[in-house]
Structures are given as C-alpha cells and as structure tokens.
Structure 1
Amino acid sequence: MKKIITLIILVVIIIACSSENKKETSQLNLEKYPSELAEVFKAHGSLDAWQQNKTLLFTKGEENYTVDLNSRKSIIESSNYTVGYNGEEAWLMEKDSAAFKGNPDFYHNLFFYFYAMPFVLADDGIKYSETEPLVVDGKTYPGIKIAYQDGVGASSKDNYYLYYNKDTHQMEWLAYTVTFFDNKPKDQTSVIKYDNWQVVNGIKLPKTLVWYAKDSLGNVVAPKDKSPVTFTKVSLNTNTLDSKTFEKPN
C-alpha cells in the first residue's frame, strides 16, 4: 500500500512540474516581444490562446474566408470568383474575366492580416521599435512600430504601426504602408480604426474596420467611408484542414 501511495505522489509531482514548465515556457516566449505588445496580446485573449487555434473562418461582404493559421494557406470564396493560396502560389478562378478586380498575390491574405491583428504581429522575422504616439481628437494612443527583416513575406519593406489604449492595452488604431507593387519604402501611411470588437472562443477579434482620412498635416480627421468593413460568421477552431482544401480545382 505504501508503494502505491508513493507512486501516486510521484505522479502528482511529475504532472505539477510539467504544468509549471509549460507556464515558464509560455512566459519565456513572450519575452521576445516588447512588454507593451505582450500586454496588447493579453488584452485580446492572450497569444497562447490564439496559437492553440489552427483554422480561422470569417465572412466579409460576399466573401467567405478560410485560413490555416500555421501555414497561412487560404481560400476566399464568393459567388463570382475564388482566390486561393496553397502555400507556394496564389491562384484565381472566376466565372468571367471581369469578376475579380485585383491582384491575387496581393489580395489573398490582405484582409486576413488586418483581421487577425494584433496576433499576426507575433510572426517570425519582425523587428519592433518605439514610435511617436497617435493623437486623435485630443486623445493620445501609444504606438509600436513593426518592420520586417529583408526577404520576410512578399513585402518586407512594409511598416505597421499599432496604437493602443494606454489604460486597457486594447488595440485602437493601425497605420500601415504598402510596398507590394513597387518594393519601395514609404513614409505615407493609411489608417484604420479598430473600435468594434467581438469575442470568439475567448479571443477578441474585430467586428468592423473603418479607414480614416488625414489632413494635409497628417492628422487623422474623419472616416473615408461611412460604411465600415464588417466581419461576420467568425469561427476559430483547433482542427487542421486537409491541404487539398487550398489547392486550385482542376
């Protein structure tokens, strides 16, 4: 009986130590990010919780998105066209030659990247630095600049600027540059307001995005469009889809 009790105690200790090691590993992983960004991740449900998910689905307008969160393979389906990315190349299928107005290489992960903020800012190959805060209507939002190492992604010269609520650390604004088409660094940024959120499996994700205009001095002044980009039918799950899901149909 004493041997059995001793064995049980040892098993409990091993399990406890294993759990503690997992916690320590999680904490160590967060150390490579700026402390302010780590707090932003926490405010949105935690990076650990996000990384446990494998597949993201959501709808934007008439487009239905399916994204493999590890490989970033994706497929965007609408009634008139389908855009996919199989991990190596983007592809397009359309009912007629004018159905899709855009560039599949640029578009296949465009809205996923905006939508999966702030968690995509934990990707490998990112360089973090401080940036000037954003001031809108007299309110100040601290910021974090995100740049990329050469050769990372399709547009490694892109810059992103995340601005957050200094009290709650919730993400409020995103500024970004676009270098995909000419591969040249830019100073001028576009600005998105993240002011409407939805919680999915404990993860806080945007419900709407609003692009804002800037005046001649670069101050954020007003929405560009009265109609926000809205995301519905959102699903996060731990199931990994078959890679064939993202291949172009024959």
Structure 2
Amino acid sequence: MKKTAIVLLALAIGACKQDSKKEQIKENTQVMKVESAPMLPEALTKVFDAHGGLNAWRDQRTLIYEMPKTDFTETHTIDLWSRRDRVDTPQFSMGFDGKQVWLLDTDKTYKGDAGFYHNLMFYFYAMPFVLADDGINYGETEALEYEGKSYPGVSISYDSGVGTSPKDEYFIHFDPETNKMAWLGYTVTYRTGEVSDNVKWIRYDDWQEIDGLTLPKSITWHNYEGPKILDARSKVPFEGVVLSEAVKSHDFYSKPEGADFVEVKQN
C-alpha cells in the first residue's frame, strides 16, 4: 500500500510539473506574441484593412512582378519573410542572399548601384504593407493638400541600424473616404548619410487586386516645389504580379557562378 501511494504521489507531482511547464510555455508564447505585435496607429491599421489586411499579406511568402523598361524587362522576386531578393534581366542579374548583395554582369552593362537598387522598387511596390516592418517609429504629420483635397497622413522613421538608410523618412497619406493609400513622401540619405528635408512624392492611384490584396498596378512620381506637388513626371508600371504562399529555395537567391559580391554602403 505504501509503495502504491508513493507511486501515485510521484505521478501526481510529475503531472503537476508537466501542467506547470505547459502553462509556462503557453504563457511565454502569449508574451512573445504580445511583444512582437506592432503598435500601429489606428489610421494606418485602417489603410492596411482597405488594402486587404495585414494578416493576409503576412500569409504570403513569395512576391514576383515584372517592370518593363525601354530595352528589357526586369523580373523581381522577393521572399517576403526573409527579404531575400533577386532581380533578373537578359543582360544582368542581382540579388540579396540574406547576408550579402551580389551582381552578375559579365558584359559590364549595369551602370547603377546594385547595393542600393536590388530591393529599392520592392519597398515602393509593397506599400503600404512594408510600413508594418520591425524597427519603425510612427508619428504625426500635417495633411497633404492636392487639387483641393486633403489627405491625412502618418510619418514613419526607423530605428538606428535598420536597413541601409535608417535616416530616411517616409510620409504615407491616404484618401479619407476609402482609407486607401494615395501618396508617399520620402527622403533619400543613402549616398550622403545626412538627414534631408527634400521630400519626393509618389502618387498611388492605380491599383490591382492580387489574391484579395490591393497592390499597385503603377506608381507615378510627381514634380514638386518645396511642399507643393506639381504635375506628373514619370510612371512605373508593374506587370505579371504573382503572390504565393510557396517558398523558393535558398539557392534561388544565392550568388550564382560568375557573380561578384557588392559592397553596400551603410549610413
């Protein structure tokens, strides 16, 4: 009887410990979820919802789109979770393997800065959803006035060490009637490392629905004089857009044979 009682007591204690451990794991998991949940402004949450919802965006893993140019078409592929990326053209390719940027350009036809360009258009294209990334700070900004209409907005800045240009600033402005994104203002500090008050403006008014998410069909840069937005300057179209929950292999984003790693300037 005593042995039986001891065994039962040991089993009971063990069960209590396991239950306690399960509760601790559950509690830790809940804490981690709370800590990782972004503190988004209500206005920005409404913008995400108007574009299909942040959760729906985060369910996707791979984004592909084409950008037709005068002499060729660029095909951009991005892993939305790891932010590995790849840009392919008939003349050259470039990408980010998760640690380093590489460039494959055997004929030396590419004249740009691959370290700056490899993911540049992704961040313009994936608006507004990339404004929920880690390391972002949100603030207030004055409404944008254009052709007699007022567009409320949210200012965005980055923590030190986030990305290659953490001193960049962004200003998202949205249509107060639909809550859809309407304008993006941004500064560029990549080449100088100095804070800039020269805000460039892109209009977002041409949308397409891809798997329930509203993404740009084209975006248009506008001329400007100080804070005043002027006429349209250049339009960039996006074609063949594909969103997928499937993941491409690491090898797809790795430096191919014949390519060179590119030094990326850090501000």
Q: Are 2:212 and 1:205 equivalent residues in the alignment?
A: no
Q: Looking at CA atoms only, which structure, 1 or 2, has the larger radius of gyration? A: 2
Partners of 2:160 and 2:236 lie apart in 1 by: 31
TM-score, normalising length: structure 1: 0.85
> Given the alignment of the two structures, is residue 86 of structure 1 paired with residue 97 of structure 2, yes or no?
yes
The 3-state SS of whatever aligns with 1:140 is strand
Q: How far did residue 158 of structure 1 move?
A: 0.5
Separation in 2, partners of 1:28, 1:198: 33
Which structure 2 residues correspond to residues 167-206 of structure 1 after superposition, within 5 A? Answer: 167-206=177-216
Q: Which runs of 5+ in 1 are unaligned?
A: 1-24
State the Cα distance separating 1:214 from its structure 2 match.
0.8
What's the counterpart of residue 9 of structure 2? none
Report if the CA contact (8 A) 2:38-2:132 is conserved.
no
In the other structure, the counterpart of 1:101 is: 111
Inter-partner Cα distance in structure 2 for 1:30 and 1:205: 23
Q: C-alpha offsets along residues 86-144 of structure 1, whole Å, 9 cap, x if unaligned?
A: 111111112411x1121111001100000000000000000000101110111110010
Look up the match of 1:223.
232
Residues of 1 paired with 2:104 and 2:36: CA distance? Answer: 40
Distance 2:46 2:148 in 1: 24
**What amino acid does structure 1 have at the position aligned with 2:210?**
V
For 2:166 and 2:144, the matched residues in 1 are separated by 24
Residue 56 of structure 1 aligns to a residue whose secondary structure is: strand
Q: 1:243 maps to which residue?
A: 250
Q: Which runs of 4+ in 1 moved over 4 A?
A: 25-31
CA distance in structure 1 between the aligned counterparts of 2:223 and 2:34, rounded to whole angstroms: 39
Deviation of the 1:33 alpha carbon? 0.2
Partner Cα distance (1:234, 1:125) in 2: 28
Q: Aligned residues, how many? A: 222
Q: TM-score, normalised by structure 2?
A: 0.80
User: Within 2, Cα distance between the matches of 1:124 and 1:137?
Assistant: 34
% identical aligned pairs: 40
CA contact (8 A) 1:198 1:205 kept: yes
Alpha-carbon distance in structure 1 between the residues aligned to 2:107 and 2:185: 35
1:10 aligned partner: none
Q: Which amino acid aligns with 2:191?
A: F
* Distance (Å, rounded) in 1 between the aligned partners of 2:227 and 2:211: 38
The two structures, once aligned, show a CA RMSD in angstroms of 1.7
Partners of 1:26 and 1:48 within 8 A in 2:
no
How far residue 168 of structure 1 moved from its aligned partner, in angstroms, is: 1.0
Q: Deviation of residue 29 (structure 1)?
A: 7.2
Contact between 1:146 and 1:161, CA under 8 Å: does it hold in 2? yes
3-state SS, counterpart of residue 244 of structure 1:
helix
Q: Classify 1:188/1:124 alpha carbon distance in 2 versus 1 (closer, same or farther; 3 Å).
A: same
Instruction: Find out whether 1:137 has 2:162 as its counterpart.
Output: no
